[in-house]
Amino acid sequence: MTLTLEQAQAMIAAATAKAKELNVKMNIAVVDAGANLTAFVRMDGAWLGSVDISIKKAKTARFFDMPTGEIGKISQPGGSLYNIEHSNNGLITFPGGIPIKAANGEIIGAIGVSGDSVENDHTVASAGLEAYK
61 and 98 in contact (C-beta within 8 Å)?
A: yes
Residues 8-37 within binding reach of a copy of itself (CB under 8 A): 8-9, 32-37
Please say which residue, 47 or 129, places its beta carbon nearer to a copy of itself. 47
81 and 4 in contact (C-beta within 8 Å)?
A: no
- Residue 128 and residue 40: Cα distance in Å, rounded? 12
Pick from 10, 17, 22, 51: which binds a copy of itself (CB under 8 A)? 51
Residues 113-132 within binding reach of a copy of itself (CB under 8 A): 117-118
- ∠ CA 28-95-81, rounded to 5°: 125
Phi, psi (degrees; rounded to nearest 5) at 131 = -80, -5
Within a 10 A sphere around the Cβ of 49, how many other Cβ atoms? 11
Least distance (Å) between residue 130 CB and a copy of itself = 21
Least distance (Å) between residue 124 CB and a copy of itself = 15
Give me the 71-110 binding string for a copy of itself, x by CB under 8 A, dash otherwise: -x--xxxx-xxxxxxxxx-xxxxx----------------
